[in-house]
Amino acid sequence: MPSLSPPHKSAASGSAPSMSSKPSAPQTPPPPRKAKFRPALGGMVHGAFAHKSPDAAAGPASKKRAAVYMDSEDEDEDGGRAAAFTNGIANHSTPSGGKRKKMRKNGAANGGGNAQAQAAAKTRLLQEQRAQLPIAQGRDAIVRAVAANDVTIVLGETGSGKTTQIPQYLLEAGTLAGLLAITQPRRVAATSLAARVSQEQGRPLGTLVGYAVRFDEKLSDETRVKYLTDGMLMREMMGDPMLERYGVVIVDEAHERTLRTDLVLASLKRILKERNAGQAPGKGKERARNPLKVVVMSATLDAEKFSRFFDDAPVLYVKGRQHPVSVYHTATSQTDYVDAALRTFYQIHVDYPVGDVLIFLPGQEDIESLELSIRTYAKQLPANALGVLVCPLYASLPNAKQSRVFAPTPAHTRKCILATNIAETSITIPGVKYVIDTGKQKEKRHLTRMTGSGFDTLLTTDITKSSAMQRAGRAGREGPGNCFRLYTEDAFDAMALSSEPEVRRSSLTSALLQLKCTGQDLESIDFMDNPEVEAVGSALRTLWLLDAIDVKRQLTAFGRSMASFPLEPQYAAILLASVDNKCVADVISILSLLSSSSPLFPDSSAQRDDAAEARLKFRHPSGDHLTMLNVFRAYDELSASEGKGARRDWCRQNYVNERALREAGDIRTQLRGVCERTQLDWAVSCGDADGPVLKSLTRGLLQHAAFLQPDGSYKQTLGPSVIKIHPSSFLTGKPCPAIIYNELVRLSSAAAVTSRAECIHRCTQHISTPAASRLCLRHS
C-alpha cells in the first residue's frame, strides 16, 4: 500500500491508514469475530454490544406494561417502504420477505395461470405470511386492549410489522366504527404502506385501503383504512375539528416527535376529552355516541412518556427481531471524523468479508470530500483486491444518482454508501453489513429574537443515543453486522437520550395559525412538551403583523383565508395580497418556487462562474424573486412547445435545477386549485410590471425588511440585527435603499467570532423595493 497522504484537506500529516501494514491478501478468510478495529485510529476498543432490548435500554419494565413479547421474522414494513422510495425507482424490497414473493409470482406466470388465479394465489400466500408473523400471536391482546381503552400505546421494535398488521387486526375484528386513520411522518411511507396492506387484503389500492398525501390520494367511499401524513390529518382537522369521520386514529412513529406529530397528539387529547366524555364508569351522563380510539406507536424508549401524557394509558410491547450488531468505539476521540472514516473504511475493506458499508456524515460537503478520498485510494488497490463503488446519498442529490445505492453491488466489489441522516429513517438500503458512524449531524434551529421573526441556524452537532442506536441497527437488517463508532464509549454515554422535540426548536407561526383554525391555542393546548414562551410570542406577533389575528388574538377572516393555502403564513399573505394587486399568476409562480424543497440555483463550486454567466440572462433589476419568475416563465414557454428531453437540456445549459421547477409546478397546480375553490382568479397577471409583485411580496415579508446604511450594510426595520446580502444573490454589489428578503441565516463562520459577530447574517433571495420601506414604516 502506498503511504501517501489522503487528499482530504485536514489529513493527519503523513500517516496513511493502517492498511499499509496489512498486505492485501485475499479477502476470503473471515476475520476473528471480535475484530481488530485497532488502527491508526489510535488503538481500538471494542465495546461488545449485544442487541439491547428496549426494556434494557429504558430501565425496568413498569408494572402496567403488558408484554406481548413476540419474535418477528424479517418480513417487515420497511421493506415496503424502501420499495416505493421516490418516484421512478423500481422495487427494492428487502431480499428477505420480498424475494420469496417475487419468485412465487414468477413461477405462476411461467405456469401460464390466468391473472385472476394468480391474484388469488398471491393473496393466499400473503395471508400465510401474515399468519406466520409472530406479531399474529399478540393479535387478540391488541384487539382487546384497543377495545378496552381510549388510548393504547404500542412499543414496537423495527421490523415488528406493527404498522401493517395492527390496522388490519382492528379492521378484521369487525368492531370498527367509522374510518381508521394511520398517520406517518413521510409521504413515501404512507403510500407504500397503503399499497402493501391493500395487497394483503387482496383488494385494489384505493378501495378498502387507501392513502392521502399531498399531491396524491387514492380513496373511495369503501375506504375503511386510510394511511396519511400527519400534516394531512392536521389539515383535515381544520374542516372537521373533532375528526368525526374517524373511529380510530393510529399515530405511528410517534417517537420521532416531529412538530406535526406533537400537534396531532395534542389535538387528539382534546378530541378524546370531548368525544369520549360521559364514558367514565360511575354516574352515567349520556354515553358518548361516537367515541374515538387512539393508538400511539413508538419504536423507542419513550413509551412511558406517551403513557403518562394520555392518563396512564396501557403499553403493549411488541418485540421485533433484528440481527445482532457488534458495536465498536474508538479508544480516543477523533478530531477529524472524515479522515477517521476514511481509515476505518479501508480497515474494513481490507480485513472484513464482503458486505456493503454505510457511512453516516453530517452533510454534502463532507460527503463530497470523503468520496474523493476513497476514490483516490481505491485506484491504488492491487489488481486482485475487492473493488470499491462509492455512492453518495443526500436529499438534494438527483433521483437518478440516489437510486444507485439500490442497484445490486457488482461482483468482486464492495459498495460504500456515504449518507446523511436520510439513511437513518427515510431510506433503507439493502446489503449493508457495516456501519461507520461519525456521531455528527446537522441540526436546524430557529432562534427567536425580541424583535423580528428570528432566524435559522444550521450547525453540525453531536447525535443522540437513539440516533446512534438507529444508525447501528442499519447494519443488522439482513444478517449480523458491525458498527464502528468514531467516538469513544464515554462520548456515547454523554450523549442526550433523544433529540429535543421539534416543537422546542422550530418556528411555530404556521402551527399557531392552524390551531387557531381548529379553535385551539398554543397557550391553552396540552403538549407533550411545551413550546418556549418566546417562540409563542414570536408566532403571535408575526400573525398579528400579517393581520391573521387581531389585537384580541382572534383569528381574522384574512387569517382564515391564509390558512386555506398549503403555504407558510408569510407566503399565504403574499398570495392574498396579489389578488388586490392583480398579479396572482405571477406571485403564485414565485411562491411555488420559494416553497419547493430544492433550490432553483444549486451551488456547485466547480462550475460556479459558468453558472453565474448562464443565469445572467434571467436577471431582473429588482432582484432575486423576479429573476426566479423570469426563469419559470422561460421554462413554461419551453414546456408548451418542447418535450422532456429539450427541457432537460435547457435546464442543464442554463444551470437551473429542473427538480425545483417540476416540484414548483406541482405546488402551483395545487395553489391554483385552492384559488378555484375559494373563488379567486389565479390567471390574473401583471405582465412585465414589477410593482404589483413587489407590493405583494412586501405584504408578507414586512418583518424581513432592511434599510441600507452608509457603510453598505443593512439594518433590519423590525429587528435589531445588521445584515448583509449573500454573495450568491443577484443583488450583490448593487446597493439599494431598502430590501426585503425571505430568509435570514447565521453564517457558521460568524459563530466563532465574539463581540457583535452574532449580528452578522446572511440574507438570501431578496429584492430591492422602495415600496418596502414605506410599508414597513407604516406597519411598525
Partner DNA sequence: GAGCACTGC
Residue type, 700: G
How many Å apart are CA 228 and CA 370, to the nearest integer?
Answer: 38
267 contacts DNA (rule: CB under 7 A) = no
How many residues belong to the site for DNA (CB under 7 A)? 51
Nearer Cβ to DNA (59/88): 88
Candidates 421, 466, 488, 703: give the one binding DNA (CB under 7 A).
421
Strands (E), 420-497: 432-437, 440-447, 455-462, 481-485
Closest CB to DNA among 163 and 441? 441
Our finding on whether 87 is near DNA (CB under 7 A) is no
- Distance in Å, CB of 186 to DNA, minimum: 4
Residue found by looking up cell 375528526 in the block: 243
> Of these, 173, 208, 422, 495, which contacts DNA (CB under 7 A)?
422
Residue 239 C-beta: closest distance to DNA, Å: 11
498 vs 728, which CB is nearer to DNA? 728
Distant-in-sequence, close-in-space partners of 325: CB < 8 Å, separation ≥ 6: 49, 51, 435, 472, 473, 475, 476, 480, 481, 482, 483
**Sole window of 378-386, 403-411, 531-539, 740-748 interacting with DNA (rule: CB under 7 A):** 740-748
Task: Choose between 67 and 238: whose C-beta lies nearer to DNA.
Answer: 238
Please pick, from the candidates 747, 759, 771, 779, the single residue that binds DNA as defined by CB under 7 A.
Answer: 747
Give the up-direction half-sphere exposure of residue 380: CA atoms within 13 A in the CB hemisphere: 18
* Residue 595 binds DNA (CB under 7 A): yes
The distance of closest approach from Cβ of residue 456 to DNA in the complex, given in angstroms and rounded to an integer, is 8
The residue among 582, 603, 553 whose CA lies nearest residue 727 is 603
| H or E element, residue 626 | helix 624-641
Nearer to DNA, 494 or 757 (CB): 757
Q: Of 115-123, 404-412, 700-708, 744-752, which segment contacts DNA by CB under 7 A? A: 744-752
Residue 566 contacts DNA per CB under 7 A: yes
By rule CB under 7 A, what string of x and - marks binding of each residue 458-497 to DNA? x---------------------------------------
Q: What are phi and psi of 591, to 5 degrees?
A: -65, -35
Q: Which of 317, 394, 484, 655 binds DNA (CB under 7 A)?
A: 394
For residues 184 and 482, which CB has a smaller minimum distance to DNA in the complex?
184
Judged by CB under 7 A, the stretch of 70-78, 106-114, 334-342, 440-448 that binds DNA is 440-448
666: buried, middle or exposed (CB in 10 Å: 19+, 13-18, 0-12)?
Answer: middle
| Cβ proximity to DNA, 152 vs 373, nearer residue | 373
Query: Among 565, 587, 773, which Cα is nearest to 696's?
Result: 587
Please name the residue that has the C-alpha cell 414546456.
639
395 is an interface residue for DNA by CB under 7 A: yes
As given in the structure block, the three cell numbers for residue 193 are 404502506
Q: How far is residue 778's CA from residue 699's CA, in Å, rounded to a whole number?
A: 12
Residue 754 has a CB neighbour count (10 Å cut-off) of 6
Q: Grid coordinates standing for 569? A: 403564513
**CB of 321: closest distance to DNA in angstroms?**
26
In the bound state with DNA, the residue whose beta carbon lies nearer, of 137 and 749, is 749
**In whole angstroms, how far apart are CA 523 and each of 308, 504, 539, 550?**
20, 14, 11, 16
Give the shortest CB-697-to-DNA separation in angstroms: 17
CA 567 – CA 546 distance, rounded (Å): 14
Q: Binding residue for DNA (CB under 7 A) from 560, 764, 771, 779?
A: 764
Decide: is 732 part of the binding site for DNA (CB under 7 A): yes
Q: Using CB under 7 A, which of the segments 105-113, 295-303, 359-367, 519-527 binds DNA?
A: 359-367
The verdict on 608 binding DNA (CB under 7 A) reads yes
Which C-beta is closer to DNA: that of 220 or that of 597? 597
Distance, in Å, from the CA atom of 447 to the CA atom of 411, rounded to the nearest integer, reads: 50
Residues 268-287 interacting with DNA (rule: CB under 7 A):
none
Q: Tell me the residue type at 650.
A: W
Q: How far is the CB of 368 from DNA (least distance, A)?
A: 9
Distance CA 100, CA 1 (A): 43
Rounded distance, CA 638 to CA 654, Å?
13
Is 567 a binding residue for DNA by CB under 7 A? The answer is yes
With respect to DNA, which residue has the nearer C-beta, 23 or 727? 727
| Cβ-based nearer residue to DNA, 482 or 510 | 510
- Specify the DSSP element, H or E, that contains 166: helix 162-172
Instruction: Give the x/- contact pattern for DNA in 169-198, rule: CB under 7 A.
Output: ----------------xxxx----------
Binding pattern for the stretch 496-515 against DNA, x by CB under 7 A and - elsewhere: --------------x-----
Question: In this chain, which of 51, 218, 255, 260 binds DNA, going by CB under 7 A?
Answer: 260
Closest contact distance (angstroms) between CB of 480 and DNA is: 28
Determine if 426 is a binding residue for DNA (CB under 7 A). yes
Q: What is the SS3 assignment for 539? A: helix
653 binds DNA (CB under 7 A): no
To the nearest whole angstrom, how small is the minimum distance from the Cβ of residue 143 to DNA?
A: 29
Applying CB under 7 A, does 455 fall inside the site for DNA? no
The CA distance from 520 to 268, in Å, is: 12
Site for DNA in 699-728 (CB under 7 A): 726-728
Q: Which helix (H) or strand (E) holds 297?
A: strand 293-298
CB 476 to DNA: min, Å: 22
Q: Are 724 and 713 in contact (CB under 8 A)?
A: yes
Q: Least distance (Å) from DNA to the CB of residue 67?
A: 33
Dihedral angle, C-alpha 606, 610, 613, 619, nearest 10 °: -50
Binds DNA (CB under 7 A): choice among 18, 198, 441, 742 = 441
Residues 6+ apart with CB under 8 A from 280: none
Q: Hey, how many other C-beta atoms are within 10 angstroms of the C-beta on 456?
A: 15
Segment contacting DNA by CB under 7 A, of 47-55, 72-80, 393-401, 629-637? 393-401
Q: Considering the complex, state which of residue 268 and residue 611 has its C-beta at the smaller distance from DNA.
A: 611
- Rule CB under 7 A: which of 204-223 touch DNA? 213-215
Return all residues near 533 (Cβ < 8 A) that are at least 6 apart: none
Which residue's CB is nearer to DNA, number 229 or number 267? 229
The residue among 301, 259, 304, 273 whose CA lies nearest residue 529 is: 259
Cβ 350 vs Cβ 19: under 8 Å: yes
Q: Which of 231, 473, 531, 700 binds DNA (CB under 7 A)?
A: 231
Cβ-contact 285, 278 below 8 angstroms = yes
Query: Grid coordinates representing 574?
Result: 403574499
Q: Which residues pair with residue 227 across a beta bridge?
A: 182, 211
- The answer to whether the beta carbons of residues 330 and 340 sit under 8 Å apart is yes
- Could you tell me which stretch among 127-135, 417-425, 428-436, 767-775 binds DNA (CB under 7 A)? 417-425
C-alpha cell read off for 188 = 413515501
Distance CA 624, CA 613 (A): 15
Q: Which three cell numbers stand for residue 765?
A: 433571495
Nearer to DNA, 673 or 770 (CB): 673
State which residue, 378 or 594, has the beta carbon closest to DNA: 594
Choosing from 118, 123, 168, 364, the residue that interacts with DNA (CB under 7 A) is 364
CB 651 within 8 A of CB 642: no
Measure the CA–CA gap between 301 and 466, rounded to whole angstroms: 9
Residues whose CB is less than 8 angstroms from the CB of residue 524 and which lie 6 or more positions away in sequence, other chains included: none
Task: Give yes or no for residue 442 binding DNA (CB under 7 A).
Answer: yes
Interacting residues toward DNA by CB under 7 A: 185-188, 213-215, 229, 231-232, 235, 258, 260, 362-365, 394-396, 420-422, 426, 441-444, 458, 510, 566-568, 595, 597, 599, 603-605, 608, 612, 726-728, 732, 745, 747-749, 762, 764
